[in-house]
Amino acid sequence: MKRNFSFGARKSRPQGWSGLSGERKEALDALLQGYRVLAGELLQDVFGIACCLPASHVTIDVLAHFGFKASALSVRTDILNPAFTEALKVEGLEYCDLSQRWLHAHPEARVTILGSATAAEWNSGVGHTVAIAENHWLIDASLGQANAVTEDVGIHMDHVLLSTVTENFLAGRSALGLRQPVNGCRVQYSAFINDQDFLQSPAWHHPAIPAVTDALIEKLENVTVVVLPDDVQQAGA
């Protein structure tokens, strides 16, 4: 069953809205689906392909305008191409086994990593950042940068990805593997919950952030979002 949502000129948190259930949850779901469609190309055009910091900042500010709380989270993102996923099945290995002990037999198996292996290695050059909305949604507003490779290895990501999250992921206790492949690729996020160094990066304070935020708010206030069931990623079990 599909539903239509229009947001209008909402300037502050609606009175009586608290928690994330019922109408408020449906409104957030719809807002994010609209954001996914409208934001990706604009964010990339203004901030460049590797734009996770300003893109996450804009995402947080847009959600705040519509009355939803969000925060930035430093992550590592592993994207396994379709051939990698098939090779794992052949070898009978775990979902995201990146060890070299078997890869030599599968040169077609490729992985793109956004972010660093550990939080200690994070910096504005190699880190990756997403937004977490209401402790329920992960919004990766710059996932399209995974496509910026010189060789086509079968990794084709959308500009913006949405997925529900788990408590264990938000607590840093386990990775977040998406239940369904993204254009044939497996995607997994690992959280660096204690890393706040990105807040000191010049990219986090990009001067174009307010203008891009306002432009996206205006677009969202003047669009009707058609919400389709099962149209977003769910966290894996």
Q: How many CB atoms lie within 10 A of CB 73?
A: 23
Q: Which one-letter DSSP state was computed for residue 35?
A: H
What residues does each domain of the chain span?
3-11+21-227
**Residue 177, strand partner residues:** 188
Per-residue pLDDT of the chain (237 residues; tens, 9 = 90+): 445 555 655 544 444 444 566 788 888 988 999 999 999 999 999 999 989 999 999 999 999 999 999 999 999 999 988 888 888 777 777 666 666 666 677 778 788 889 876 655 555 456 899 999 999 999 999 999 998 766 788 889 999 999 999 999 999 999 999 988 899 898 999 999 998 888 989 999 999 999 999 999 999 998 776 655 555 555 554
Residues 6+ apart with CB under 8 A from 51: 43, 44, 141, 142, 145, 203
**Residue 226, strand partner residues:** 4
**Among the listed residues 217, 66, 52, 213, the one whose alpha carbon sits nearest the alpha carbon of residue 131:** 52
Q: How many angstroms separate the CA atoms of 135 and 170, rounded?
A: 8
The answer to whether the beta carbons of residues 126 and 77 sit under 8 Å apart is no
pTM assigned to the model: 0.84
Q: How many angstroms separate the CA atoms of 135 and 63, rounded?
A: 13
Q: In this structure, which topology does domain 3-11+21-227 adopt according to CATH?
A: Atu2299-like (3.10.550)
The answer to whether the beta carbons of residues 49 and 81 sit under 8 Å apart is no
For residue 213, give both structure tokens.
């935020």
